[in-house]
A and B are shown apart, each in its own frame.
Chain A
């Protein structure tokens, strides 16, 4: 066990080095003039000096390896540059936006996993019957609905017609409360902060804004969880101990609940862990559709405006977060399920 963790930890710096290298190589496709834009905060700075002066001043024409180590030093000091599209330092923008993405992920993961497991068990118990087919068709349709199509249709109906689930993170009045001095931002997550500040109206408003993206994400991911639950439940249903349980006269629903579903959950848990990580990095389109101001929307807006600094900075952040949390998830699973260690 220890050697497994040790081996994984040894690779960590190597993979992180690879991540920085990728971003640096991507950056080297840009000319010094494109890069210098990240240092200019206002047009006034160009009054007394030319672009060439600025390139010299920030030493953007140095050889690659010198630039790489200087850039790495900057990152280690938390300096990812200045974002034109967000009008602030990339690090500050990430700090402001990351809690929003985390909040949406936490909210979405509950219906995704529970709904997917429920659909998967129905499908497996009624294997090859019309119920099985109907559930799977329902899920495959969801899997085929791109979030930008489904999201727009959801907004058209639930916002346009019914006025229930508006886009964004908070209504204007709630935003005023959150930004006011009396409201303390403990976590940056609106729902949690509202509870801690006992602002129930704000809490409900935040929930109202989370529902539509959650529906969109859940329907998309159900097929995925369904497939894994179904496959692993069918596997367990054929096991000898299930036959024994049935033979000793246990009611079918207890057999399913106690013996089948629990054992079938191991692969689902593994996948769910990685899905959280995937969602953290893959909410770009969902956030754009619902105008939900999280990290994904930050990256997307920056990319549209060709704000390289911000795109590369957020990617650096994603890369590091994912590498480290992948490692943590892997190690946790190895601790929980001894079979994992073999591979």
Chain B
């Protein structure tokens, strides 16, 4: 599968982009050094003044300063770390919950399965974004609250997927043999069932990373995310909303406030989507023929 992915020029480009972002995230302290005055808070974007009007790109600030004189370059670079962090934590935790719920539901079966699946239905009956807004609103604003809210409403698809796979494998001979040999249920699930069923879940989870990051940035954009000044792409874009009209006679005067953070998030998501699209093609049984 890896070979097919690398042979496809689109997914290869996706991988290249992804590696680029990983390097930026790892080398953030080198690319955009934190100023001495808040060494202990690297995720706070340094400010160079207090005026509201953005300042255009210059030698010291290659991407310019956005509203409140926050350095855009610094924010974009350190925002890469935030994006990876949010994406990995949300997808990872949802995956764990989904796997536990899905495995329990399918393995126990019967009435328990029916009840769990109806609970999943309830979770699925809310529009995801609205549900996330509700939880963030009730818990209070903040990046951590956004992540909790997203995990609460993201695990269901993994649970369903894993359940479907386990139902197919559950009655196979190797499982029955293990059971006949007196292996404990937990051990059967972990040793025999999961290795044969978890792969599609992991793939689907990795393909979701892009959308998770967009959604989190969207919630930040709505003003429910990190406090002002935190290195976060969504928030930087929400700043630019106030400047989309430019100045009289110069309608595109403040282009840099949206283009740089916007390009960062678009390319980041594009990387994941290119890989995901190629993966779906490889795995789509309909196209195999």
Contacts and interface: CB of A to CB of B under 8 A. Distances in A.
A232 B286 contact: yes
B128 A282 contact: yes
Interface stretch (B20-28, B85-93, B236-244): B236-244
Given A15-B122, A140-B277, A146 B210 contact: no
A328 interface: no
A15 B120 CA distance: 10
B30 interface: no
Contacts of A315: 126, 130-131, 133-134
Interface residues of A, number: 62
A312 B241 contact: no
B200 interface: no
Contacts of A147: 218
Interface string A273-310: 00000101110110011000000000110111010100
A169 interface: no
Contact of A149 (B136, B223, B266): B266
B126 A231 contact: no
Nearest to B210: A144
Contacts of B183: none
Contacts of A11: 118, 121
B64 to A, nearest CB: 15
Contacts of B269: 144, 146
A126 interface: no
Contacts of A340: none
B33 interface: no
B121 A282 contact: no
A326 interface: yes
Contacts of A318: 126-127, 130
Given A146-B214, A149-B266, A282-B127, A155 B244 contact: yes
Interface of A: 11, 14-15, 18-19, 21-23, 26-27, 29-30, 133, 136-137, 140-141, 143-149, 152-153, 155-157, 159-161, 227, 231-232, 234-235, 238, 278, 280-282, 284-285, 288-289, 299-300, 302-304, 306, 308, 311-312, 314-315, 318-319, 322-323, 326
